[in-house]
């Protein structure tokens, strides 16, 4: 799964990943420990489909048919292998795909009786976009909630020693293909693959990240020498 991630430079991410998309991102603060139920920076097509917009969506998908918003706490991830068929995700997969900005994510590796957190990121320390889905939940008499989920896939060779799953990272030249409403199911399935391990790196970090109240640089600081690695 993907249950925590970072966006330390949201303005850089918006400029490099989202380009001329509508939306105000200049006031977004650095985030070192983004957790479910918080707002995340997302790119989607506008309602009319002619433009792209950068928006904040709540992390944890609330399907349009849900009886209450609490279901979102259980839908922070969607598996690539079943996303096209599961009732919670299939409508959004066909019609409401998005890109979620990040510059790293966390996974925990079991080492003896303990779990060590790792920060996994691009080897070039650049932002990237995770494949996501979004929904608008607007029950009678309640304020509308716009929410999203992150699609996960099998881990690549770098992540696999840490965790069996990783988020789907959409290469920049595939962003349009992912967002276009007319993209076919076979083309979409072809994007739901592990990102090349040789372009990524990881390092162990302090267990400070375990506490969602911690959201500072200590969450991504390498945990001493000898804890850096990347795929050979």
The Cα 219–Cα 5 span in angstroms is 10
Q: Which of 5, 184, 158, 7 is nearest to 97 (CA)?
A: 184
Sign of CA dihedral 70, 71, 73, 76: negative
Catalytic residue, candidates 2, 98, 148, 219: 2
Q: Where is 187: in which H helix or E strand?
A: helix 185-191
Q: Is 219 one of the catalytic residues? A: no
Q: Which long-range contacts (CB under 8 A, 24 or more apart) does 15-20 make?
A: 16/126, 16/127, 17/43, 17/99, 17/101, 17/127, 17/128, 17/129, 17/172, 17/175, 18/43, 18/52, 18/54, 18/99, 18/101, 19/52, 20/52
Q: Quote the radius of gyration of the chain (alpha carbons, Å).
A: 17
Task: Give the phi and the psi of residue 161 in degrees, each rounded to 5.
Answer: -65, -15
Catalytic residue, candidates 53, 98, 107, 160: 107
Q: Is 218 one of the catalytic residues? A: no
Maximum Cα interatomic distance, the chain, rounded to a whole number of Å: 56
Residue 130 and residue 102 in contact, taking contact as beta carbons nearer than 8 Å: yes
Hey, which residues are catalytic here?
A: 2, 107
């Amino acid at each position: 799964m993907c249950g925590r991630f970072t966006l330390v430079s949201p303005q850089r991410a918006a400029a490099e990943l989202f380009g001329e998309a509508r939306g105000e991102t200049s006031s977004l603060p650095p985030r070192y420990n983004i957790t479910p139920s918080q707002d995340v920076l997302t790119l989607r097509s506008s309602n009319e489909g002619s433009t792209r917009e950068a928006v904040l969506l709540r992390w944890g998908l609330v399907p349009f048919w849900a009886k209450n918003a609490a279901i979102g706490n259980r839908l922070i991830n969607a598996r690539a292998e079943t996303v096209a068929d599961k009732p919670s995700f299939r409508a959004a997969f066909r019609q409401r795909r998005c890109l979620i900005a990040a510059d790293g994510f966390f996974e925990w590796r079991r080492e003896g009786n303990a779990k060590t957190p790792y920060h996994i990121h691009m080897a070039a320390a650049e932002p990237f976009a995770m494949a996501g889905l979004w929904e608008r939940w607007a029950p009678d008499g309640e304020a509308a909630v716009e929410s999203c989920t992150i699609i996960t896939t099998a881990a690549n060779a770098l992540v696999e020693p840490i965790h069996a799953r990783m988020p789907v990272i959409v290469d920049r030249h595939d962003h349009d293909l992912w967002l276009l409403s007319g993209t076919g199911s076979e083309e979409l399935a072809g994007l739901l693959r592990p990102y090349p391990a040789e372009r990524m790196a990881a390092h162990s970090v302090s267990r400070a990240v375990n506490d969602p109240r911690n959201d500072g640089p200590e969450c991504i600081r390498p945990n001493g020498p000898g804890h850096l690695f990347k795929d050979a």
